[in-house]
Amino acid sequence: MCEFSPADSLHEECGVFGIYDKTGETDMVSAVYSALYALQHRGQESCGIALNVDGVLSNHRDLGLVNEVFTKRVLEDLPKGAKMATGHVRYATSGRRTRSNAQPMLVHHCKGAMAVCHNGNLVNAQELRQELEMKGCIFYGTSDTEVIAYLLTQKRLTAPNIETAVSQTMDLIKGAYSLVIMSHTKLIAARDPNGFRPLCIGELPGGAGWAFASESCALDAVGARFVRDVRPGEILVADRSGLRSIDTHCGKAPHTICVFEYIYFARPDSCIEGTYVHEARLQAGRFLAQEHPVEADVVIGAPDSGLDAALGYAQESGIPYGIGFIKNKYVGRTFIQGSQAQRESSVRIKLNAIPSTVAGKRVVLVDDSIVRGTTSARTIRLLREAGAKEVHYRISAPPFIHPCYFGTDIPDEKQLIATGHTVEEINKLVGSDTLGYLSVEHVTQLAIHSHCGFCTGCFTGKYPVAPPPRPKENVYERPLSQSKTNKTL
């Protein structure tokens, strides 16, 4: 789990993107840059772009937001004339925050090169890493993406083509992975058999080529037409011959996408498995109003992921919807501070209540989750100080009581407020008048147009894939100076 996130909020691991234009008319640098901007919400710690110019692969990656890493000078210096490119934004849930863990990871071997982008988390990464180390592999970073890259390389040395190597690697890795892989002639997308993380296909204008993305909003950003989601277990290959599908891993496991993609992670304008995220969040609010009605004067949402659910609550309950907070959109990562005093100060700079909406009123505050409870308490205190008469807290997800092993940085149970506390105790701790969570039954009914199952392990402790045993020492959390290698790429 990520140890350096001080905020009481959740983060998803990554966003991936790949694009192939057989005509060469697409400005690949501009396209990937735009796509990464669209996926920035999925990762704000590092990003990168890899380009394929006449079979020669190169990349640029670093810590920071997209506009920080890809300055005007960097963009101008990137190679021109690429027909293929990949991009990645990262938030670490396994591996430390170092440049060596940034992606795409570029690997050179005797049969060529490949750039690897990964979203998700493997449950057997540590076991595979140890096996690879015993065979002489030297790791430069601490993420499980590097494990995938080594396995792909080993398989490619004996496989007849890159897609066979991908298939053979999928036989070994377990857990969540949505992959975009670029070789000197092909762009490949692959999704784990459970389909934990989203991945979709887009077609470029005029049938010029294809794009793969974590969310459909990235396809919109580059003008690609959304075609469909990549099926769980499917491998897709885009090259000069067109697009072809390999389905040998399909149907090997139940489809269990992470339900939190709909609650929090994905952008509201993205369509995942047939349901727009905005629709799912409206439905969450409707269910909340049915499960936890209350007499109130106004419904407000916690920016930004609570806004849609708050609107759904207002529609279902008949209570007027209002804008209760103003979020400062010009505050960047500078205010992710280490000390408690700094974090308290940054809350007021990032978020401020609107007294004219809440003063003297009974307020329903809708939020997506409570993790540790510290941010919830501060948010409710802002409403009290702005004059709210009552604050009724409604959460569009069930209580978090278990960790996630598939790419969400839910803390250890010891840090989860719902572990060891009843709902009434949590209500007192965060300072609300009443508290209501969405039920597990209703959370699996949010995607109203989707025909798939959902992973709810963080709520129920029942995981679609067996979680890894808890090691005495987690190799991914060792400081690099104490690892078997402290080299950087």
More confident residue, 4 or 257: 257
d(CA 240, CA 186): 8
Q: What is the pLDDT of residue 283?
A: 98
Calculate mean pLDDT across residues 417-424: 94
Active site residue 455: no
| Tens-digit pLDDT profile for residues 332-359 | 544 344 455 555 566 667 889 999 999 9
Among the options 14, 117, 200, 455, which is catalytic?
14
pLDDT digits (tens, 9 = 90+) for 205-230: 999 999 999 999 999 999 999 999 99
Q: Which residue(s) pair with 245 in the sheet?
A: 236
pLDDT at position 435 over 60: yes
Phi then psi dihedrals of residue 195, to 5 deg: 65, 40
User: Which bin fits 119, alpha (ψ -120 to 50), beta or left (φ > 0)?
Assistant: beta
- pTM listed for this prediction: 0.90
Residue 96 confidence class, pLDDT cut points 50, 70, 90: low
Q: Which of 24-33, 132-141, 235-244 has the lowest mean pLDDT?
A: 132-141
Return the pLDDT at 143: 87
Give CA separation, 358 vs 105, 179, 297, 361, in Å: 49, 45, 9, 5
pLDDT surpasses 60 at 445: yes
- Give the pLDDT confidence of 397-409 residue by residue, as tens digits: 999 999 899 988 7
Name the band, by pLDDT with cuts 50, 70 and 90, for residue 99. Answer: confident
Report the DSSP pairing between strands 362-367 and 390-395: parallel
